[in-house]
Amino acid sequence: MKIRFSRRKFLTTSAGALGAIAMPHLSRAADRPVVTHGVQSGDVTVDGGVVWARTDRPAQMLVEVATTDSFKNARALPPIAALPESDFTAKMLVENLPAGQDIFYRVRFCDLSHTAIEGEPVVGRFRTAPADRRDVSFVWGGDVAGQGWGINPEDGGMVTFETMRKHRPDFLLHSGDTIYADGVIPAEVKLADGKVWKNLTIPEKAKVAETLDEYRAAHKYNFTDDNVRAFNAEVPIFVQWDDHEVTNNWSLSKDLPSTYKVRDISLLAARAARAFHEMYPMRESINEPGRVYRQISYGPHLDVFVLDERSYRGPNGANLETEYGPASYFLGPEQMAWLKRGLLNSRATWKVIASDMPLSLIVYDDAANKKGSEAFAQGDGPARGRELEIADILRFIKMAPIRNTVWLTADVHYAAAHYYDPNKAQFQDFEPFWEFVSGPLHAGTFGPNELDNTFGPDVRFIKAPGVDKQNLPPSAGMQFFGHVKIDGASGQMTVTLRDRADVALWSTTLDPKFA
């Protein structure tokens, strides 16, 4: 039986336990294990969340939680090990927390070989999901450290994370491409205006990632940015992955370029997946270890369905099949069934479907020759190939019926708002809905992409550099994120697309349907 704590009981439970595990501090800081890359929290629900940190040696992670930043009457949790096998990372599921409450957590490590040696604590915070209908806000986006645009102190580092932090969101929905494992971070990049972009560099980012340690290093590189660490300490992350966590446009049919010595895409994907799960505070599946897709319920107004459009897809071929089968898998049958069950059983006002790739923007597998399919869209006309899955989901949502679904995505490195109208579509068996696109958070800016008319998207807003100005650096200002606010009283959802200077580029307010 799961034990639930009232706020009063939370504050008073285990006050003595803190003293039981507290260990004396040594005077020499160099002897102590340190928190190397800040702290993170993630997958927060009404009564808990996951806390993450990394240290520099075999150690025990010690976590205390409290409802005030003074840590008065803090609750100490049983220690867990951080070992070389996980690159000295550790993550802990913290449960039995009060709903709708600011939670402060404090992480430190003690040396496994010398338990009296204890490091300095690092503090983080998150807010548990509400049990009542209070306001909820969150941000979303993807695409970090891509196209050679790394951490440039002269440009302020990864500025968009600081802009998002100032909104005090309940969480970040990270739409994938958390790293660019296939992308080199050079020391300098010459800009079109003659100026020089100067990156902080690490040895592992001088080549494509192939080893487990190289994949790990790509994630740790991002965590060295001051803006990212400050953001992670205050804002939980709901993370998903896409292609660049492994290599560009990867599927099982991927033909690796000559820059790779490892020629087995399955081996690279396995190493990348392990690094990804080690480096983020995700709730892990017991049924399928390493699973990315999951449902996160954030109070009465919001359920988030985090999809995995990479692990179960068929080959990146032409994808023009008219009958559904393995060649046209994108989510795959098991994930499709899970999504339908979750949507049908959801009692939340809004069902946000976090799709790491847009529904109707054409993304070619071979961009130079405009060949092959990387995303859902197969070009104008009836639903074919991977579009068959979207047609099936949209038909199911209509027939159930399921109200108030919104699709959030990134991937294409520009900002857009698409309204899907069955009256303008080739496939028409669905109810109208919205898809919002944001990103990059810190990468090159591209676009716009060609639009596929299969599901009738109408572009209500777009901001992209244009075909003659591709791969703009973050210093050009065209870095984008989305901001969602749900009004607790009315249930209205306001979606705003913003740039890294926090300029509100476009906004709309959606009224929920309750019948």
Euclidean distance between CA atoms 374 and 202, whole angstroms: 30
Where does the chain hold its CATH 3.60.21.70 domain(s)? 136-510
Judged by phi (left if over 0) then psi (alpha if -120 to 50, else beta), residue 72 lies in beta
pLDDT score at 396: 98
Question: What is the pTM for the complete model shown?
Answer: 0.94
Determine the distance from the C-alpha atom of residue 157 to the mean position of all C-alpha atoms in its chain, rounded to a whole number. Answer: 19
**Within 10 Å of residue 489's Cβ, how many Cβ atoms?**
8
- Listed in order, strand segments (DSSP E) in 116-192 are 122-127, 136-141, 171-174, 188-190
Where does the chain hold its CATH 2.60.40.380 domain(s)? 7-127
Place of tokens 């927060």: 44
pLDDT score at 28: 54
pLDDT score at 310: 97
Taking only Cα atoms into account, the Rg of the chain, rounded to an integer number of angstroms, comes to: 23
Euclidean distance between CA atoms 378 and 384, whole angstroms: 7
319 close to 375: Cβ distance less than 8 angstroms: no
Q: Which CATH number fits the domain 7-127, given the four candidates 2.60.40.380, 3.20.20.70, 2.30.30.100, 3.30.870.10?
A: 2.60.40.380
Exposed/middle/buried for residue 284 (C-beta within 10 Å: 0-12, 13-18, 19+): middle
Nearest C-alpha neighbor of 413 from the set 464, 340, 362: 464
pLDDT per residue as tens digits for the range 325-369: 999 999 999 999 999 999 999 999 999 999 999 999 999 999 889
User: What single DSSP character describes residue 118?
Assistant: B
Interstrand relation of 89-94 and 80-82 (parallel, antiparallel or unpaired): unpaired
Euclidean distance between CA atoms 124 and 102, whole angstroms: 11
Euclidean distance between CA atoms 133 and 110, whole angstroms: 41
pLDDT score at 168: 98
Euclidean distance between CA atoms 407 and 305, whole angstroms: 10
Euclidean distance between CA atoms 248 and 243, whole angstroms: 6
Element (H, E) at 237: strand 237-239
Q: Which CATH number fits the domain 136-510, given the four candidates 3.30.479.30, 3.10.20.30, 2.120.10.30, 3.60.21.70?
A: 3.60.21.70
pLDDT score at 29: 59
Euclidean distance between CA atoms 173 and 304, whole angstroms: 9
Nearest C-alpha neighbor of 4 from the set 40, 45, 62: 45
Tell me the HSE value of 369 on the side-chain side, using a 13 A CA sphere.
Answer: 4
DSSP state letters, 364-433: EEETTTTEEESSS---SSS--TTHHHHHHHHHHHHHTT---EEEEE--SSSEEEEEE-GGG-SS--S--E
pLDDT < 70 stretches in the chain: 1-30
Tell me the HSE value of 471 on the side-chain side, using a 13 A CA sphere.
Answer: 9
100 close to 132: Cβ distance less than 8 angstroms: yes
